[in-house]
A and B are shown apart, each in its own frame.
Chain A
Amino acid sequence: QQQVKQSPQSLIVQKGGISIINCAYENTAFDYFPWYQQFPGKGPALLIAIRPDVSEKKEGRFTISFNKSAKQFSLHIMDSQPGDSATYFCAASKAAGNKLTFGGGTRVLVKP
């Protein structure tokens, strides 16, 4: 039972384009939604995170959009760069004291 579903599995975008990754969750008790970035041969690292009291959070070229009623959230990478080529994981968690549940991951390739 996959509680966090992520799509697409892979994505190819041209340099300067927008990458969009979508996640949907089932558990309405989730209230923390981080995104992790993983480069080949490395462990994941926190990229950006959002809580459901806001609908959008932006950090540089990375934006999370959150739709509580639809139980969906997405990551937008604006002006995508070759250095953004990585695997991105969405995740979700309940209130403090619980564990992260990860989506299946999206492999993003940015072509120069």
Chain B
Amino acid sequence: NAGVTQTPKFQVLKTGQSMTLQCAQDMNHNSMYWYRQDPGMGLRLIYYSASEGTTDKGEVPNGYNVSRLNKREFSLRLESAAPSQTSVYFCASSETQGAFNEQFFGPGTRLTVL
């Protein structure tokens, strides 16, 4: 079991460029999440998908879009990257969207926007 996988591991973009971060899980989980991690800010939820076919905004959704492609895959797109989006991005999944369900995190994507 690979758990939660993310690609790419590192990416450098110029301001205004677009890119898609990919995430896949092999645990048959229903819910998936995208977070960003910035120093001193902890992890902040960008978007989440409670189940296949649904997506909802989290705490910091501006400048991002998501697609729940199927039960396994949840992608995050930056349409026009800005330096403020320089961060480490984590994808996570859980069995359901319940508060008492453990979230399993991927290894992260380190993104730098110049």
User: Are A and B interaction partners?
Assistant: yes
Residues in chain A within 8 A of chain B (CB atoms): 4, 6, 9, 31-32, 34, 41-46, 49, 51, 89, 93-105
A97 & B97 in contact (Cβ 8 Å cutoff)? yes
CB distance from B74 to the nearest CB of A (A): 15
Number of A-B contacts (CB under 8 A): 61
Interface string of B83-100 (1 = CB under 8 A from A): 000000010100011111
Q: Bound state CA distance, A104 and B43, in angstroms?
A: 7
For this complex, into which size category does the number of interface residues on chain B fall? Answer: 20 to 34
Interfacial residues, chain B to chain A (CB-CB below 8 A)? 4, 33, 40-45, 48, 58-59, 90, 92, 96-100, 102-108
Q: Given A96-B100, A97-B99, 6 other A-B contacts at CB below 8 A?
A: A43-B106, A89-B43, A97-B98, A99-B45, A100-B103, A104-B42
Contacts of B40 in A (CB 8 A): 9, 104-105
